[in-house]
Amino acid sequence: MPGKRVVVIGMGFGGLSAAKALCGKGFELCMVDRHNFHLFQPLLYQVATAGLEQEAIAYPLRAISRKWKDAEFLLAEIGSVDLENRCVLTSSGKIAYDYLIVAAGSRTNFFGMHSVERHSFDLKRLDQAEDLRNQILLMFEKASQETDPKRRSALLTFVVVGGGPTGVEFSGALRELILYVLSKDHPNISPDETRTMLVEAADTLLTAMPSDLSEYACNKLRGMGVEVLLNTRVVDATAETVALHDGTIINCHTLFWSAGVAAAALASGLPGVELAGSGRVVVQTDLSLKGYPEVFVIGDMASFVQDGSPLPMMAPVASQQGRYAARAIMSRESGGRIPPFRYLDKGAMATIGRSSAVAITNGLKFRGYPAWLVWLVLHLFYLIGFRNRLVVMMNWAHYYFSHERQVRLITADKRRSQS
């Protein structure tokens, strides 16, 4: 007979690792997500740059849940949580819980700039990656038919905002797509006609990295032809322009925004809960909510201060917190206690292009080809499912040796009216 009911909201890295640690441990496990798949978000940018098909980085949640005992999956949107009566209000009705793990992740933060939000692409969901891919390919199709030089140049200008890992990886992959694939697909477009701009508000890329690695990444990108603008902010946008803080107007039809994240909207659906910066939920040292020891908030949604600053919104933090929350619940049930959560930083990395990356782990720094190999192995290792690993590896091998990207399909039927 199953025991207490644990509800996990959100099946990203945090929710999935919590659920995995709890399954088969005598709980009744209910996993809720608004999608029926787990998404390997760190590779979304590769879908957007035609390197991978979307199916290669998404894994059906029911393929996971059906193997687990006493676990069920529910496809639903979460409205709010009734902390007093211990139940979650979803689009598919009420779900009661004994323990709750909230891991709904984050959304893109446009810092209130509605014009930028309306006219830019971001990468949080799978369908956005496909939209962005369609957009990039379509801009080249339009440019190859455009005779007005000014308009043609605007169609071929891509502005990427945010010099974090997503912005760096996306602009590097985009530049390679242009250099090695699209400029060959379109014989009448020279790579020199195209512009890929990476705009960062700080004075360095990859601020979480040591400065020599940041500089390496910056030089590498510049060597590939990416225009890196540091100390620069985007303040406004229309369908065909991007405005910088110094008044510069860039003619551009494609704006990609990766300059900020905030906790998922559900954070404000937790009544009476204290919120920190970026709308993240303040948690106790055991990741539970103050006054509600049966509720845990983990991953991007949680603001957990360690060594003076909140932990970053990234997959390894979420995974570790998921496993911790599961352990906390199990030890609570057995009457034990576990020490406060502490994030073990195993390092950080960002890939810049084919066979180049920067990485730091245990104080060791890697750059160039060795770092790229580390990136490759780790990403394949963490990708769920043998078949997905195989498909990804095949795509990468094919691309590595041929500089060809097969996934360059414009799949949306309706043309975006942006331009």
Number of shown-chain residues binding a copy of itself (CB under 8 A) = 48
Considering the rule CB under 8 A, would residue 330 count as an interface residue with a copy of itself?
Answer: no
Considering the rule CB under 8 A, would residue 94 count as an interface residue with a copy of itself?
Answer: no
Q: How far is CA 138 from CA 350, 394, 415, in A?
A: 28, 26, 8
Considering the rule CB under 8 A, would residue 93 count as an interface residue with a copy of itself?
Answer: yes
Considering the rule CB under 8 A, would residue 60 count as an interface residue with a copy of itself?
Answer: yes
Question: Contact letters (x/-) for a copy of itself, 340-379, by CB under 8 A?
Answer: ----------------------------------------
Q: What angle do CA 333, 334, 337 make, to 5 degrees?
A: 90
128 or 153: CB nearest a copy of itself? 128
**Exposed (0-12), middle (13-18) or buried (19+): which is 277, by Cβ within 10 Å?**
exposed
Considering the rule CB under 8 A, would residue 36 count as an interface residue with a copy of itself?
Answer: yes
Considering the rule CB under 8 A, would residue 62 count as an interface residue with a copy of itself?
Answer: yes
State the nearest-atom distance from the C-beta of 62 to a copy of itself, in Å. Answer: 4
Q: How far is CA 338 from CA 297, 308, 316, in A?
A: 17, 22, 20
Considering the rule CB under 8 A, would residue 118 count as an interface residue with a copy of itself?
Answer: no
Interface residue with a copy of itself among 4, 5, 35, 152 (CB under 8 A) is: 35
Considering the rule CB under 8 A, would residue 126 count as an interface residue with a copy of itself?
Answer: yes
Considering the rule CB under 8 A, would residue 240 count as an interface residue with a copy of itself?
Answer: no
Closest CA to 326 of 2, 10, 96, 14: 14
93 or 370: CB nearest a copy of itself? 93
Stretch that binds a copy of itself, among 47-55, 157-165, 227-235, 375-383 (CB under 8 A): 47-55
Check: CB of residue 90 under 8 Å from CB of residue 77: yes
Q: Render the burial of 352-387: b for 16+ CB within 10 Å, e for the rest.
A: bbeebbbbbeeeeebbeeebbebbbebbeeebbbee
Q: Specify whether the backbone of 355 is left (phi greater than 0), alpha (psi in -120 to 50) or beta.
A: left
Check: CB of residue 383 under 8 Å from CB of residue 392: yes
362 or 417: CB nearest a copy of itself? 417
187 or 339: CB nearest a copy of itself? 187
Interface residue with a copy of itself among 4, 20, 21, 55 (CB under 8 A) is: 55
Q: Which residues contact 267 (CB under 8 A, 6 or more apart)?
A: 104, 273, 275, 279, 280, 281, 301
State the nearest-atom distance from the C-beta of 48 to a copy of itself, in Å. Answer: 14
Considering the rule CB under 8 A, would residue 390 count as an interface residue with a copy of itself?
Answer: yes
**Exposed (0-12), middle (13-18) or buried (19+): which is 175, by Cβ within 10 Å?**
buried
Considering the rule CB under 8 A, would residue 117 count as an interface residue with a copy of itself?
Answer: no
Q: Render the burial of 10-33: b for 16+ CB within 10 Å, e for the rest.
A: bbbbbbbbbbbbbbeeebbbbbbb
Residue numbers annotated as active site: 169
Considering the rule CB under 8 A, would residue 84 count as an interface residue with a copy of itself?
Answer: no
Q: Which chain residues interact with a copy of itself by CB under 8 A?
A: 35-37, 53-56, 58-60, 62-63, 65-66, 72, 74-76, 92-93, 125-127, 130, 137-138, 141, 145, 184-187, 385, 387-388, 390-391, 394, 398, 404, 406-413
